[in-house]
Structure 1
């Protein structure tokens, strides 16, 4: 069992937190601000059978500090500043980056890359030299991340990172999310994230034509 801190409590982060907790990991979901814990349950209260796995709700700094592995699921256009501010909390850890750093068009869909001559993952690795950054799960809609087998065509989860052990650990977590080993493609070092991050520019064209239906950019063999 691994303690995982997921930074970003939107659809991506919440979905990953739920699935990883179901797989038996201790999961803390990091919110932008300290979450309201709500009223404490009575000592005798029993957990509802369909309440789902326990997930700890914390602020992002606390979630990162207490985790063995951290997932960046914050908005990509502000992720670099957010993660750089957590340099001490992330030192010595694996940071799995699933975000895409894009400028949004009038319809709210990606219209351009924030780092057209590089990638967010490279920027993160440069800003966090004591952290092992791995890029993955950024070439699909969020629901595919935690249910890849739902697609009629086998999807691909790409891995980019400088540390082989960190990528192996990440691949193991992908397995907990339902990804088969033959659906995982290790592209190489962190510079290869430039290619997968650029693929996000396909998304708005697909969404406008097909609607909000699950899809992934897959490698056909």
Structure 2
């Protein structure tokens, strides 16, 4: 049994945020959910508790308060919103794990807005120098949370970061969400992981995978 964690999900009512919240509510973690519209967060909490009355999930009105109480902070917001949020949570995210799930996609999904020598996760680490930023959940689609087993195979979810203990903790969280965690390397590997998502989106649009698709490493 893994350690019980208090996990703040900032942007909990978005497609990704709600997918993560619903998946993690099945584990023994305590979830603190924040989004701009508190009524939508309360609806999400009701939905979670309807499915699992024992779930510990609560709506929080302020991202700083949610982050203050949390062991792990998941920023389930678009890349463009991260700087403003980082400013708000910087002091309370000291020494905590902060999960970057964003992909800095351009408007046409043909590439990333970040330069090739950095990534959304590395930029977040610069904004939160005293936090342990880990890249996770960016290589899976929102619909995959309800269907982490696709065509009989459990989707892999890649993780990158530079703190061994934090990587282990996030691996457990990824597993609790239903995916097979693969530690891909240091935080700089986020550049590759973010580009993997660009490719997966392009393939999904080209071949109509219906947004239920994921990467799988096959090996012996």
CA RMSD of aligned residues (A): 2.3
Using structure 2 for the length normalisation, give the TM-score. 0.83
Instruction: Give the equivalent residue in structure 2 for 1:44.
Output: none
Match among 196, 213, 221 for residue 211 of structure 2: 213
The number of residues matched between the two structures is 205
Distance 1:188 1:37, change over 3 A: closer
Instruction: Give the equivalent residue in structure 2 for 1:100.
Output: 103
Q: Indicate if the aligned counterparts of 1:18 and 1:55 stay in contact, CA closer than 8 A.
A: no
Q: How far does residue 101 in structure 1 lie from its aligned partner after superposition?
A: 1.4
* Structure 1 gaps, min length 5: 40-47
Instruction: Give the equivalent residue in structure 2 for 1:26.
Output: 30
- In the TM superposition, structure 1's runs of 4+ consecutive aligned residues that sit over 4 Å from their partners are 48-52
Instruction: Give the equivalent residue in structure 2 for 1:111.
Output: 110
Distance 1:11 1:37, change over 3 A: closer
Comparing 18-27 and 146-155, the one that deviates more? 146-155
Q: How far does residue 135 in structure 1 lie from its aligned partner after superposition?
A: 0.5
Distance 1:83 1:32, change over 3 A: farther
Using structure 1 for the length normalisation, give the TM-score. 0.83
Q: How far does residue 133 in structure 1 lie from its aligned partner after superposition?
A: 0.7
Does structure 1 residue 5 correspond to structure 2 residue 8? yes
Instruction: Give the equivalent residue in structure 2 for 1:175.
Output: 175
Superimposed CA distance per residue, residues 149-172 of structure 1 (whole angstroms, 9 cap, x where no aligned partner)? 244334221111010000000011
Does structure 1 residue 84 correspond to structure 2 residue 84? no
For residues 48-63 of structure 1, the aligned pairs below 5 Å read 50=51, 52=53, 53-58=55-60, 59-63=62-66
Comparing 120-129 and 79-88, the one that deviates more? 79-88
* Structure-2 separation of matches of 1:113 and 1:49: 39
Match among 185, 191, 194 for residue 194 of structure 1: 191
Superimposed CA distance per residue, residues 10-69 of structure 1 (whole angstroms, 9 cap, x where no aligned partner)? 111112112212212110111135x14999xxxxxxxx8646534211232222121111
- Indicate the structure (1 or 2) with the bigger Cα radius of gyration: 1
Distance 1:197 1:167, change over 3 A: same
* Structure-2 separation of matches of 1:57 and 1:84: 21
* Structure 2 gaps, min length 5: 43-48
